[in-house]
Structure formats: C-alpha cells, structure tokens
Amino acid sequence: MLQSYVTRLIVCGASLLVAVIALVVGGGFLGAALYLVLRDLLAPSMAALVTGLAALLLAVIVVLLGSLAGRMLGSSKRRRQAARLAAGPAGGRGLAADLGILAGEEFAALFRTHWRAGVAASLAAGFAVGASPALRRLLRDLLEL
C-alpha cells in the first residue's frame, strides 16, 4: 500500500520535473525570439533591455498571482481549523491523531519562521539522497517495513 503511494509520488515528481524543464527551455526560446524580433526594430541593447523588462514583468505577475492564490487557500485553511476546533478536542480521531496534528502544526510554524534553513536542509537532503546509492537503499528498505 505504502509502496504504491511512493511510486505515484515518484511518477508525479518526475513528471513535474520534466514539465518544469520544458517550461524553462520554452521560456528561454520565447525570450530569444522576442529579442530577435525587437532587434530588428530597435538597437540590440534596447532590444535586450525590453526583453529583460518583459521577463521581470512576467515574474512579478506570477508572484502576485501566487500570493493571491495563497491568501485564498489560507482563508479556507482557517475555516477548516475553526470547524475542527468546534468538533471538540478529540473530534472523533483519537489522541494519537490529535498529537500528530499538533506536532505538524508546530513543525509548520517552525518552518514558516525559519524557512531559509528549512529550504537549505531540504535541498541538502535531496542532494544527499540523489548522490548516495547506499542512502537510497536505506530509505527504500525503511519504506518497505
């Protein structure tokens, strides 16, 4: 059962990685095409400037849309927390589930306050697992338990 979830996670992760690589390559080609079109209309330095500004504008739009989506998801998360608290302390889940939820919330709060260290630790762990076949075998054996 757990192995099928891990397999799905690996397939989704690989698909996402391929999609991100395709998106980056496509964006590079679109930027190059924009530069070449503008180079015929403007001086090469101005064409490069306009292309760079267009890329920065696109990045700002993506960040603004992401923050808007995050705010929309955050409000629904607050509603879910209020509903969970209204259901009572155990909420029909049991003490172990409540302790797990509490630990998860504490870990999430810790990550929000120290996100740079969390990202660095996640990146280092990803490189370690990717570079070490022995570590991959160990993790695979732990998942098979």
Domain presence at residue 137: no
What tokens were used for 129? Answer: 């697992």
Instruction: Give the total number of structural domains in the chain.
Output: 1
Domain presence at residue 83: yes
Domain presence at residue 45: yes
Answer whether 48's CB lies under 8 Å from 40's CB.
no
Answer whether 126's CB lies under 8 Å from 139's CB.
no
pLDDT of residue 66: 81
Domain presence at residue 119: no
Domain presence at residue 126: no
pLDDT of residue 111: 83
Residues of the domain holding 74: 15-94
Domain presence at residue 118: no
Global pTM reads: 0.42
What tokens were used for 138? Answer: 């160990």
Domain presence at residue 132: no
Per-residue confidence of the chain (145 residues) as pLDDT tens digits?
Answer: 667 777 777 887 888 888 888 888 888 888 889 889 989 898 988 888 888 888 888 888 888 888 887 777 766 656 666 666 655 555 556 777 777 888 888 888 888 888 888 888 888 888 787 888 887 888 787 777 6
